[in-house]
């Protein structure tokens, strides 16, 4: 409904879906204010056409303010920290797949300019050659990446030789306890597990001491509910969440339903924040598959790599990637209703290769009539591996 009535829902009548579609067609518009006052991004199209998300400057500035003040494992914010940062801006390394109009990436495009006096934000791609030496050169204070990318980097901790690293943040993938242990052991710093969504990027910031994430309850309302939208008490898993974004005045998200399963914490944490804490987040999938690289070592291949390539096709309603053998992946695609014609498999595979899928790994692509959740668990998993990591 929101997609269908997009133009009526926005509070600025000058904003039209058709114009936004034109705007995001040109990669040169990344990091550009639309009509000099809005940022434009869109969520993935796996459940139909993408949903555009428009935010004004105040909402974007709030996102960076909350990140600076609260998504901070070490020093407390204050005038002294501000002065210190003016002398030596904090170096933030963001490791992602491709630049693009997806919400978190699109926001980071603006961060460099908005926070320039205090932070030096650098963008890195998982697929680029020489990622490790470039990161080692940059010596970040803060490292932001998907959980599976962080796991891969943990294997390179020695070559990376980070001397100033103070914190690591996972964004948008499930951080398993195993992954957290590996990453924290390799780098010796805390992993903060932020939880948010394109519709409310600043929803919460990872707790630096007890895991989970603190809801920025002064700027967003997070309700944990059951199937019938009744509140679920802390300590019990919900079936979905309702999110209200109190900062976005141009595109209202009020009790917006997101099919993530969370558990609110019952115990107070040690970090000192009194904001409500999400204890566990179960909704996010996209786990990694482990492949063996040319040097014989196993490394994780982030699930987002498939997500990105399939979004790029634009015609897929749902998908599943199954690693059937060490060097073989089956991709099942359920096309959008009305989708006709064959999928451009070579283009899909080329996109996967450009994101870092090694040539050795074969991909079989199959279109299927429908994909659903696992009948035993009721959970839908997009990335499955039948190959155990060593």
Residue 273 touches Zn ion, criterion: CB under 5 A = yes
Q: What is the closest distance, in whole angstroms, from the C-beta atom of residue 271 to Zn ion in the complex?
A: 3
Helix, coil or strand: residue 322: strand
Binding residues for Zn ion, how many (CB under 5 A)?
Answer: 4
Which residue, 179 or 207, has its beta carbon nearer to Zn ion?
207
The alpha carbons of the chain give a radius of gyration, in whole angstroms, of 21
- The reply on whether position 73 binds Zn ion by CB under 5 A is no
Q: Which residues of 263-284 are buried (b: 16+ CB within 10 A; e: fewer)?
A: bbbeeebebebebbbbbbbebb
Minimum separation from the CB atom of position 73 to Zn ion (A): 10
**Shortest distance in whole angstroms from residue 240 CB to Zn ion:** 24
**Token digits of residue 186:** 């390799």
Least separation in angstroms between CB 349 and Zn ion: 43
The smaller minimum CB distance to Zn ion, of residues 120 and 190, is found at 190
Residue 269 makes contact with Zn ion by CB under 5 A? yes
Q: How far is the CB of 136 from Zn ion (least distance, A)?
A: 31
Taking contact as CB under 5 A, which single stretch among the options 73-81, 147-155, 273-281, 334-342 is the one that binds Zn ion? 273-281
Alpha carbon separation from 96 to 66, 124, 199, 222, 356 (Å, rounded): 21, 6, 19, 27, 12
- The DSSP code for 27 is G
Q: Residue 300: helix, strand or coil by DSSP? A: strand
Q: Which is nearer to Zn ion, 184 or 327 (CB)?
A: 184
Using CB under 5 A as the criterion, what x/- string covers residues 191-230 for binding Zn ion? ----------------x-----------------------
For Zn ion, the closer CB: 122 or 273: 273
- The 3 state secondary structure assigned to 55-119 is EEHHHHHHHHHHHHHHCCCCCCCCHHHHHHHHHCCEEEEEEECCCCCCHHHHHHHHHHHHCCCCE
Q: Residue 92: beta bridge partners? A: 121, 142
The contact set with Zn ion (CB under 5 A) reads 207, 269, 271, 273
């Amino acid at each position: 409904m929101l997609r269908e009535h997009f133009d009526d829902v926005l509070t600025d009548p000058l904003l039209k879906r058709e114009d936004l579609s034109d705007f995001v067609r040109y990669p040169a518009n990344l990091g550009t204010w639309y009509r000099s006052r809005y940022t434009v991004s869109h969520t993935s199209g796996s459940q139909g056409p993408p949903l555009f998300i428009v935010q004004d400057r105040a909402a974007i500035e709030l996102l960076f303010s909350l990140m600076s003040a609260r998504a901070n494992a070490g020093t407390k914010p204050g005038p002294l920290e501000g002065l210190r940062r003016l002398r030596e801006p904090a170096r933030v390394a963001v490791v992602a797949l491709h630049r693009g109009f997806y919400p978190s990436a699109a926001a980071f495009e603006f961060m460099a300019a908005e926070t320039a006096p205090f932070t030096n934000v650098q963008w890195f791609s998982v697929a680029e050659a020489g990622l490790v030496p470039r990161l080692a050169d940059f010596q970040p204070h803060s490292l932001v990446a998907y959980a599976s990318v962080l796991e891969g980097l943990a294997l390179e901790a020695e070559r990376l030789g980070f001397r100033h690293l103070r914190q690591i943040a996972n964004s948008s993938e499930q951080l398993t306890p195993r992954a957290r242990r590996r990453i924290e052991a390799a780098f010796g710093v805390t992993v903060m597990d932020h939880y948010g969504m394109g519709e409310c990027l600043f929803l919460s910031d990872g707790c630096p001491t007890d895991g989970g994430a603190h809801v920025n309850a002064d700027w967003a309302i997070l309700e944990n509910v059951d199937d019938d939208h009744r509140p679920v008490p802390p300590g019990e898993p919900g079936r979905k969440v309702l999110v209200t974004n109190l900062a976005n005045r141009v595109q209202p998200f009020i009790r917006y339903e997101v099919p993530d399963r969370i558990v609110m914490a019952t115990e107070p944490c040690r970090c000192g924040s009194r904001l409500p804490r999400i204890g566990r987040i179960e909704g996010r999938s996209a786990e990694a598959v482990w492949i063996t690289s040319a040097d014989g070592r196993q490394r994780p291949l982030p699930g987002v790599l498939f997500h990105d390539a399939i979004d790029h096709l634009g015609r897929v309603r749902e998908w599943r990637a199954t690693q059937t053998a060490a060097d073989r992946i089956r991709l099942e695609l359920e096309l959008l209703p009305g989708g006709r014609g064959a999928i451009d498999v070579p283009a899909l595979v080329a996109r996967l290769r450009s994101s870092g899928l090694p040539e050795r790994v074969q991909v079989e692509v199959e279109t299927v009539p429908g994909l659903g959740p696992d009948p035993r668990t009721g959970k839908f998993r997009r990335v499955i591996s039948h190959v155990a990591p060593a």
